[in-house]
Amino acid sequence: MKLVTTPKKLALATMLLSGVSVQSMAAAELEEVVVTAQKRSESMQDIPIAMSAYSADNIQAMGLHSAKDIGMASPSLQMPTYPTSSNNLALFIRGVGSADSISLTKDNTVGVYYDGVYAGRSTGLLADLADLERVEILRGPQGTLYGRNTTSGAINFINAKPTGEFGLKQSLTVGDMGIFRSVTNLNLPAVAGFKVKLTAAISERDGWVENDGANKLPGGVYEDFYSEDKEGFRFAVRYDGVENLVIDYAYDLSDMDTTPAYFQYSGPVGGADGNGNPITNSYTSRLEETRTPTGGINYAYYLPLTETEVEGHNLTVTYDINDHLTFKSITGYREFDDNLSTNFAQSFGGAFGLEVNTITEHEQLSQEFQLIGSGETISYVAGLYYLKEEGEQSEKQFLSRETVDLAGIEAIDNATGFPCGDGSNAAPLCSGFIPFFNITPLLFNDYAAESDVESSAVFGQATWTPPAAELENKLDLTLGLRYTKDERESERFSNRAWNGFLAGEGESDLSKTDWSVVADYKWTDNVSTYLKAATAFRSGGAGRNSGDYSQFFDEETLISYEFGWKAEMLDRRLRINGAIYQMEIDDIILDYLPDPVNAPNRVDVINSGEATINGFELDVLAALTESFTIGFNYAYLDYEFNDVIFPDGTDHTDTTVLVWAPENAYSFIADYNVSLAAGELRFHLDYSRQDEQFALANTDEGEVEVEAFDLMNARISLADVDIAGAKWQFGIWSRNVLDERVSNYRIGTTATTYLQPRTVGADVMFEF
């Protein structure tokens, strides 16, 4: 539920929550949420994990079409879109994440799993949420059951399985900005124990920043910014024709053509760009057309489509050895090809325009074996895990076609790629050269990196319930252990390196043991508290845009202490879950931008110092009546650094920050249903707000923040309408109802992107 954040309106919401009488809630009861966060089906209220879960009904009611939509609904989770790609998200939980999520040589801190298969990269994560049974967001380190690179949490996407009964579900969505979305789910009748399900999702959206101007050159490509054209297909088959045996196989394919965000110049007016043109315009509010900071005229920027193709195979075999022991095998293969193009549109002040083209090829194979058992006083999970990951990534950085001259530089040397001219301004003479202004962009950085990762692990977690009468079914003690061996080799090749992206290679070989200890006490059948300590680590690697590629950074390690509670009261009409935690990170992996204005593409990655993060989380859900449900989620975060010493010996303790770590973030949600003769009228409102947060870390150019922002979304639908033997639903919706126009990403002190404008639309769905 979206509430404007004034003290008066927040007080009104508090009065609403506190003033509901028990009598008005007499007929209501919250549904049980079943999750598989601990590798077995359990009630979310029964497990000592701070987490959120969204069912298929939640996803539909909230209009969640992509993973980024889920991020705004979960205050502890930040998911900024990668600045040069609309097909990649950076993931942060409890303030810990990786901003350079596109890199193959630097691992993320949030583990992403598709039906139990770990995805090493988040490219393609923005494919449509077309066939989900639920999404689980596990907060805090998950180092024992989920392993490497889950220092801050894990996200599980669980797809709906074939039913074995004929059924068709079709939804269509249209909206302004040319929005169109079609999702088809077809279940086929079971044949000889085989059940089949087919899913297709197609979506489109026009770019909402028009990229046009009189300067267009013949043969150039000038797509609008923020456009989307996505297709996704999934084939799933389940075999359960043999007693105690279930085999699930799924194949998914996503094809996405998109354009990136528009970075507009929002720096100071005055001075001149590199061509001597005065900077006369600064754009500190959202634009919906491209403009130049020199003169403010409409200006077209060369921008091809970004093309991304992702596919995956998943084979899961589950065999019940007996009533108390299950064997499971999970085999996964995933690969993607990504051809990314972006144009920073003179947003760095006109000193030079910057175009980037990044091509990535990635594939991974994983195998996991699990034994899941239980007895009278003990339950356990034990397993083996293996991952092989290979990838190649090349990047070309251009002085863009919009750049005509650079302070006396008249040409680019055709052999070296370095500027040359008449000898003035430190620009040496050269012989073989190309004109500085040409439809062909001027290449000044051209490098490629190869990365090979091999990881293996053995893990186990056991929960013991003491049999003493006074503790029977009240106290659970859990111990988890995981031993991981990681090996990485990486090499960078450079053809041209104006900003020092020189060739280099390196390798790392490490072994780590992670552990977790939990004491969970049930005070009543519906109220429990737990104490938890857990460790996790993120592997070392190399910074793909660093100056010295041979200088590998080491792993960072984390230990977390957490006190949590889970409570259902008023006959399961009110649910209050929460956690208080402290995380201590050693040898923290830090990004450093030596010159974010003139060289925003140069990012050094180092280990240095320690960070302590303290936080508080609260999740409240109340069934006020049988028809009216409201929820409130809140996350508070504070941190400090110690002993942050950079390679040059300078102390950056006081200036080092966590990125995408708002001090306060919260969300409201409200659902109200009215039964009618023709069906059920449903009203949905959700609101989320995040404090200001740093978008860039460790610069010498001052703090780089995005503003605090909030979003309100609404949907009204008429559901359960019987027409021609099918169940129909008709809805109207709006996202960013208040048309908030604040920034949501910044690079350096002058390059800024903004929230998408308000969109409105309608959808229809039927199933039988």
SS (HEC) of 158-199: EECCCCCCCEEEEEEEEECCCEEEEEEEEEEEEECCEEEEEE
Distance, CA of 210 to CA of 208 (rounded, Å): 6
Confirm whether 134 is domain-assigned.
yes
Predicted local confidence at residue 598, as pLDDT: 57
Distance, CA of 345 to CA of 212 (rounded, Å): 12
Confirm whether 431 is domain-assigned.
no
Predicted local confidence at residue 57, as pLDDT: 82
Asked whether the predicted pLDDT for residue 432 surpasses 70, the reply is no
Confirm whether 418 is domain-assigned.
no
**Burial (CB count <10 Å: 0-12, 13-18, 19+), residue 596:** buried
| Lookup: tokens for 563 | 């006190």
Predicted local confidence at residue 437, as pLDDT: 40
Lowest mean pLDDT among 408-412, 544-548, 591-595: 408-412
Q: How many domains is the chain built from? A: 1
- Run of H or E residues at 665: strand 664-676
The angle formed by the CA atoms of residues 155, 559 and 554, to the nearest 5 degrees, is 85
Predicted local confidence at residue 685, as pLDDT: 94
User: pTM of the prediction?
Assistant: 0.89
Instruction: Find, among 97, 93, 123, the residue nearest to 108 by Cα.
Output: 97
CATH number of the domain bearing residue 269 = 2.40.170.20
The C-alpha R_g of the chain, in whole angstroms, comes to 27
What letter does residue 546 receive in the DSSP assignment? -
In contact, 481 and 514? CB cutoff 8 Å: yes
Condensed to tens digits (0 to 9), the pLDDT of residues 250-266 reads 999 999 999 999 999 99
Confirm whether 432 is domain-assigned.
no
Predicted local confidence at residue 608, as pLDDT: 87
Instruction: Find, among 381, 573, 603, 555, the residue nearest to 455 by Cα.
Output: 555
Predicted local confidence at residue 323, as pLDDT: 94
Distance, CA of 751 to CA of 356 (rounded, Å): 15
Distance, CA of 475 to CA of 172 (rounded, Å): 49
In sequence order, the 6+-apart residues with CB closer than 8 A to the CB of 164 are 187, 189, 190, 195, 238
Average confidence (pLDDT) over 160-176:
96
Average confidence (pLDDT) over 25-45:
85
Condensed to tens digits (0 to 9), the pLDDT of residues 634-680 reads 999 999 999 998 877 888 888 888 999 999 999 999 999 999 999 99
Predicted local confidence at residue 382, as pLDDT: 97
Confirm whether 395 is domain-assigned.
yes
Strand 589-592 relative to strand 574-586, pairing: unpaired
Instruction: Find, among 151, 49, 154, 94, the residue nearest to 637 by Cα.
Output: 94
**For residues 60 and 434, which has the higher predicted lDDT (pLDDT)?**
60
In sequence order, the 6+-apart residues with CB closer than 8 A to the CB of 716 are 681, 682, 683, 684, 731, 732, 733
Could you give the 3-state DSSP secondary structure of residue 739?
coil
Condensed to tens digits (0 to 9), the pLDDT of residues 438-489 reads 445 667 778 899 999 999 999 999 999 998 867 778 999 999 999 999 999 9
**Bridge-partner residues for 441, per DSSP?**
none
Return the residue matching tokens 């598709």. 114
Predicted local confidence at residue 19, as pLDDT: 37
Predicted local confidence at residue 12, as pLDDT: 37
Name the range with the highest mean pLDDT among 92-101, 473-482, 700-709. 473-482
Confirm whether 411 is domain-assigned.
no
Instruction: Find, among 402, 499, 503, 489, the residue nearest to 447 by Cα.
Output: 503
**For residues 551 and 558, which has the higher predicted lDDT (pLDDT)?**
558
In sequence order, the 6+-apart residues with CB closer than 8 A to the CB of 307 are 256, 257, 337, 338, 339
Return the residue matching tokens 């760095």. 348
Condensed to tens digits (0 to 9), the pLDDT of residues 121-151 reads 888 765 666 788 889 999 999 999 998 889 9
Distance, CA of 477 to CA of 222 (rounded, Å): 60
Lowest mean pLDDT among 48-62, 224-238, 623-637: 48-62
Lowest mean pLDDT among 60-69, 233-242, 532-541, 653-662: 60-69
Condensed to tens digits (0 to 9), the pLDDT of residues 207-243 reads 999 999 998 888 889 999 999 999 999 999 999 999 9
The counts of H helices and E strands in the chain are: 3, 42
**For residues 440 and 40, which has the higher predicted lDDT (pLDDT)?**
40
Confirm whether 261 is domain-assigned.
yes
Confirm whether 419 is domain-assigned.
no
Predicted local confidence at residue 350, as pLDDT: 60
Condensed to tens digits (0 to 9), the pLDDT of residues 287-319 reads 999 999 988 999 999 999 999 999 999 999 999
Domain interval for residue 621: 7-401+439-767
**At 434, which amino acid appears?**
I
Predicted local confidence at residue 6, as pLDDT: 44
Predicted local confidence at residue 427, as pLDDT: 42
Instruction: Find, among 565, 713, 588, 712, the residue nearest to 639 by Cα.
Output: 588
Predicted local confidence at residue 502, as pLDDT: 77
Predicted local confidence at residue 699, as pLDDT: 57
Predicted local confidence at residue 13, as pLDDT: 40
Predicted local confidence at residue 291, as pLDDT: 94
Average confidence (pLDDT) over 603-625:
93
Predicted local confidence at residue 368, as pLDDT: 97
Asked whether the predicted pLDDT for residue 384 surpasses 90, the reply is yes
Average confidence (pLDDT) over 91-108:
90
State what percent of residues in the chain have pLDDT above 70: 87
Predicted local confidence at residue 165, as pLDDT: 97
Distance, CA of 355 to CA of 544 (rounded, Å): 17
Distance, CA of 719 to CA of 508 (rounded, Å): 56
- Rounding to the nearest 10 degrees, give the CA dihedral for residues 79, 80, 83, 88: 20
**For residues 201 and 56, which has the higher predicted lDDT (pLDDT)?**
201
Average confidence (pLDDT) over 582-589:
95
pLDDT averaged over every residue in the chain: 86
